[in-house]
Amino acid sequence: MRGTLVVEDGTTAEGVFFGSNRRVFGELVFNTNMTGYTEALTDPSYRGQILMMTYPLIGNYGVDPASMESKEIQVTGFVVKEACPMPVHPKATMGVDRFLQEQGRPGLSGVDTRMLTIKTRTRGTMRAALVPEGGDLEGAMKEVRAMPFPDTRNLVAECSTRERIEYPGPPGRTFVVIDCGVKMNIVREAQRHGRVVQLPYDATPEDVARHKPDGVIISNGPGDPAHPDILASPVKTAKEIATEYPILGICLGHQILGLAFGGRTYKLKFGHRGGNQPVKDLRTGRVHITSQNHGFAVDAKSMEASEFTITHMNLNDNTVEGMLHKELPVFSVQYHPEAHPGPWDNGYIFREFAEMARG
């Protein structure tokens, strides 16, 4: 069956529907990775978004459930140039078409993703819809233009755990992960260094203290870090526990720490999503290639009078990529050191945090 991508600027792109045959709405974003579509589809940071891959061939190695970053597909819809119908890989249990179909998510193939990416870079992130053949395109366009952006919702609450989850690890250290939409590879990396307790995004300082952690990780996640519900919960908690435990903020967690210490955040024109973002460590001069997925950033000027020193900068647009508290054992990175998928340059972040937690 054919279908159409409808974008708020009036663009329509017709292609072939795969996965689930249903109409969906979301924020159209693009990812520049050549691999890792399973991880991207299941990354909670994509909640509420229609994900478009810039690499032209997607699905050639199938889907291995062990690569999933959460228990379900998080994206609203999927857009690709070509969806491989016959994947080949010894670990694959299904193709992308069946994966999307089983979880009720539509995909669209056969569209000019290069044109759509250039348009997004020029115009900025836009609202969009995927409409199956026979659907009302004019009506869908009106809905797209009238709908609020997904980040006006509390997207974190939609994907955060509601129960405490414990993961075993080497004895001697316990890490609490405040789950704002955590990728499972963050949990797995933390497990290399100790036991992990995953708590809901709205965990209180008392909830954290109950587990006597040696360190706290504030995770990645979707949406606007300055959403009122986020300001009232993880931002407030981060400020209150900063003098009690070493803290590592990752992606949204980095923005949450910025807000907790008086900074501001803002929405990027089209975000950073992919595995090839160059980040410079201002302390050493070394440039790391990083995996990223975010649509908001910390305002560098707002941190000048704060208790943080900026440690990392993005070489593409000079956005803040890392911060270190001047006195407390608290630091953060905007990128994804767990790199799943992506370059392994930044695995040292977890080792540094484990050493900090050791004392």
Complete domains list, the chain, with CATH: 2-151 (3.50.30.20), 155-358 (3.40.50.880)
Phi and psi at residue 305, to the nearest 5° = -95, 10
CA angle 273, 203, 245 (to 5 degrees): 85
Q: Identify the pLDDT of residue 337.
A: 96
Q: Identify the pLDDT of residue 222.
A: 98
Q: Identify the pLDDT of residue 343.
A: 85
Q: Which amino acid appears at position 303 of this protein?
A: M
Number of neighbouring beta carbons within 10 Å of residue 82 = 18
Residues of the chain scoring pLDDT < 70: none
Q: Identify the pLDDT of residue 358.
A: 83
pTM of the model: 0.97
Query: Cα-Cα-Cα-Cα dihedral of 109, 114, 120, 121, to 10°?
Result: 150
Characterize 164-176 residue by residue with b for buried, 16 or more Cβ atoms within 10 angstroms of its Cβ, and e for exposed.
eeebebeeebbbb
Are the C-beta atoms of residues 10 and 145 closer than 8 Å to each other? no
Please identify which of the residues 251, 254, 312, 325 carries the catalytic annotation: 251
Q: Identify the pLDDT of residue 59.
A: 97
Determine which helix (DSSP H) or strand (DSSP E) holds 119, and give its type and residue range: helix 113-123
Are the C-beta atoms of residues 29 and 127 closer than 8 Å to each other? no
Known active-site residue 336 = yes
Q: Identify the pLDDT of residue 7.
A: 98
Known active-site residue 338 = yes
Tens-digit pLDDT profile for residues 82-138: 999 999 999 999 999 999 999 999 999 999 999 999 999 999 999 999 999 999 999
Read off the tokens for 106. 């539509």
CA distances from 305 to 108, 276, 309 (A): 47, 31, 10
Q: Identify the pLDDT of residue 167.
A: 98
Cis peptide before 90 (omega within 30 of 0): no
Please identify which of the residues 272, 294, 336, 340 carries the catalytic annotation: 336
Are the C-beta atoms of residues 40 and 77 closer than 8 Å to each other? no
Q: Identify the pLDDT of residue 238.
A: 98
